[in-house]
Structure 1
Amino acid sequence: MSFAQLSRLTQERPLRMLLVNAGEPDSLAWSGLVQPLRLAQRILNGGFQLEAVNPSQAASVVGDWQLALLVADEGAARLADAELRAVIERCRSAEYWGGVGAGVLWLAQTGAAGGARIALPWALYAETEDVTERAILTPNLFEIDGRLISCCGGAASLDFSLTLIEALFGAAVQAEIKEALCIDRVRSPEERQRVALQARFGALQPKLSEAVTLMEANIEEPLSTDDIAGLVGLSRRQLERLFKQYLGSLPSRYYLELRLQRARQLLLETNHSIVQVGLMCGFSSGSHFSTAFGTLFGNTPREERQRKLNR
């Protein structure tokens, strides 16, 4: 699903967001998230209300919230069970809710993620043995799946915050905040935590890591699933089973998304024509490229390029 779905929340005035910080107040996960949102609050002058509390205050906060997030840096100690349950119940009463950083892991460990796709900090992958049946871990920077929002934290919190701001308040407000913070580029939700797969699987799933590396190295002339399986020494069925179990996707789908994410990056960061971008990402047909791009991102390559021109 796309973060654009959050735009319907703008019908609420003021739009209200609750942030529960269970980590250090100066952590990157927290500061990257909250600073752009505080600037948005100032710009919107009453149109957006941001409430930031610690876990002990969360249960007693009065009001209805459109968004609520549990935030913790990856080194934060997990909350006691009773306090964590109370915070989760408070957050999930919002229309959209979720976690940032270690908060994502805590949601998954308690079963609150409910089988959703979640973006977890790669440094916490070693702690996910009891999570894979309760949620689908992705290597993305941030995710939205139904009502559940997740962000891997760290520096990605800044990209996440700015993406929320664009979805909720529009590109003009986001541009003003980017200028104030001297930020040139906002990474998209689907961009990968670059070390995520290796950190998560390492020696445990070398065939899966090798398969993804092959995909990333062959964007312009894609390999077939059978080719990839043969190159890593697995049958097609074995490879598909690995992808389904650990990445929640078939190899062909995962590969297609990799190519489309690369295409999106080229559209935003280079001056190559749309036709050239399609060819560089393995699409010989312009109509196939446009249709696949629109299905994943919700807009056409031409509209994506226009975003670059409007910045």
Structure 2
Amino acid sequence: MQQLELSRLAQEAPLRVLLVHAGEPDSLTWSGLVQPLRLAAKVLGPERLHVDVRTPDKFAADQRHWHLVLLVADEAEAGLRPANLRTVVSRCRAAPCWGGVGAGVLWLAEAGALNGARAALPWSLYPDVDMRADQALLSPHLYEIDGARLTSCGGAASIDFALTLVDLLFGATVQAQVKEILCVDRVRGPDERQRVALQARFGVLQPKLTEAVTLMEANIEEPLSTDDIAQLAGVSRRQLERLFKQYLGSLPSRYYLELRLQRARQLLRDTNYSIVQVGLMCGFSSGSHFSTAFGALFGNTPREERQRKLSQ
């Protein structure tokens, strides 16, 4: 779906991108987004890509047609909502593709514009989510491309988000040129998560989810079943699965498995326990199951992980 929506835009010549800047000019959220896009415009030329910037006030009065519009503000500025936010959101939605970055994601969600869409909201703004904004499928990922609606948590992830847009719209060769100019070696994918403590992200907003994950973390060696976790957390299995899918983008069983494997990799790197011992300590009674699951997640076997440690 994301390829389809953006590939349609790539046929436009020039592709007109507007960034509605509602924050400070020196924030990482802003510079990480605008610089890769401006460099891409320089590489491609004005006949292929045009990138412009407006304040919310100027955008609200602007009747020109844009193909892609993003509402951008640093998460620290979440309380400084534009006075004309309703008009700004309406104008954003008039574009074929649109979305928000940083605090802009929260504002769009509060306006009901992201209902039913996956939205990458900065983790620090989860406590600010009201009932209306919660109709969005809030995601812990760095960014989300859900059809025509695009969101990013901002900060350093703005760079990954912008470079991904360049790739999807204009191809890997143009992205590589921009990466080279920026000295960027690797672009993080949309499936990578914001690396923050679960308690900080969801503790107040979703105590049942936090309780379920705490149970998982406390029972690595002898894993609990999903039914047991649901019962101990005081929710139904179906409700637990919904919470994990909505807020963590995964099923409880998959999230639990990844927790155990992350713990296994840490033990392989930081201790001298044998591979068999590490597997048992992380709830794997079968060595072949441990090796297969480890390889599927990390791309190498437990033995190769241990060898990497020994060779350092």
Does 4-13 or 133-142 show the bigger shift? Answer: 4-13
Q: Tell me how far apart the structure 1 counterparts of residues 51 and 140 of structure 2 sit (CA, whole Å).
A: 29
Q: Normalised by the size of structure 2, how large is the TM-score?
A: 0.73
Q: 1:159 to 1:196 in 2, by over 3 A?
A: farther
Letter in 2 for 1:17: V
Q: 1:32 to 1:208 in 2, by over 3 A?
A: same
* Contact 1:208–1:243 (8 Å) recurs in 2: no
Q: Number of residue pairs matched? A: 269
Q: How does 1:165-176 map to 2 (within 5 A)?
A: 165-176=166-177
* Contact 1:3–1:144 (8 Å) recurs in 2: no
Q: How does 1:81-160 map to 2 (within 5 A)?
A: 81=83, 83-160=84-161
**Counterpart in 2 of 1:178?**
179
Q: How does 1:172-251 map to 2 (within 5 A)?
A: 172-195=173-196, 197-202=198-203, 205-212=206-213, 224-226=225-227, 228-229=229-230, 233-234=232-233, 238-245=236-243, 247-248=245-246
* Contact 2:66–2:95 (8 Å) recurs in 1: yes
**Counterpart in 2 of 1:280?**
294
Offset at residue 226 of structure 1 (A)? 3.1
Q: Tell me how far apart the structure 2 counterparts of residues 110 and 251 of structure 1 sit (CA, whole Å).
A: 23
Offset at residue 204 of structure 1 (A)? 5.8
Q: 1:154 to 1:251 in 2, by over 3 A?
A: closer
| 1:278-310: CA deviation from partner (whole Å, max 9, x where unpaired) | 642669xxxxxxxxxxxxxxxxxxxxxxxxxxx
Offset at residue 78 of structure 1 (A)? 2.8
Structure 2: gaps of 5 or more residues: 262-289, 298-312
| 1:237-257: CA deviation from partner (whole Å, max 9, x where unpaired) | 624314425742899736548
Q: Tell me how far apart the structure 2 counterparts of residues 200 and 103 of structure 1 sit (CA, whole Å).
A: 18
* Contact 1:243–1:250 (8 Å) recurs in 2: no
| 1:201-258: CA deviation from partner (whole Å, max 9, x where unpaired) | 2266454235446778999x9975235446xx246x6243144257428997365489
Supply the RMSD in Å over aligned alpha carbons.
3.6
| 1:78-108: CA deviation from partner (whole Å, max 9, x where unpaired) | 3344x11121121111111011100110111
Q: How does 1:44-63 map to 2 (within 5 A)?
A: 44-46=44-46, 47-63=48-64
| 1:164-206: CA deviation from partner (whole Å, max 9, x where unpaired) | 0110010111111111111111111121112163223226645
Q: Tell me how far apart the structure 1 counterparts of residues 143 and 179 of structure 2 sit (CA, whole Å).
A: 19
Q: 1:87 to 1:183 in 2, by over 3 A?
A: same
Q: 1:249 to 1:199 in 2, by over 3 A?
A: closer
Q: Normalised by the size of structure 1, how large is the TM-score?
A: 0.74
Equivalent position SS for 1:75: helix
Structure 1: gaps of 5 or more residues: 263-275, 284-311
State the identity as a percent: 55
Q: Tell me how far apart the structure 2 counterparts of residues 187 and 218 of structure 1 sit (CA, whole Å).
A: 30
Equivalent position SS for 1:20: strand
Q: Tell me how far apart the structure 2 counterparts of residues 80 and 247 of structure 1 sit (CA, whole Å).
A: 32
Equivalent position SS for 1:186: coil
**Counterpart in 1 of 2:11?**
11
Q: Tell me how far apart the structure 2 counterparts of residues 168 and 258 of structure 1 sit (CA, whole Å).
A: 36
Q: How does 1:246-257 map to 2 (within 5 A)?
A: 247-248=245-246, 253=251, 255-256=253-254
* Contact 2:29–2:155 (8 Å) recurs in 1: yes
Q: 1:18 to 1:130 in 2, by over 3 A?
A: same
Q: Tell me how far apart the structure 1 counterparts of residues 45 and 216 of structure 2 sit (CA, whole Å).
A: 47
Please state if 1:75 is matched with 2:76.
yes
* Contact 1:78–1:106 (8 Å) recurs in 2: no
Q: 1:175 to 1:20 in 2, by over 3 A?
A: same
**Counterpart in 2 of 1:34?**
34
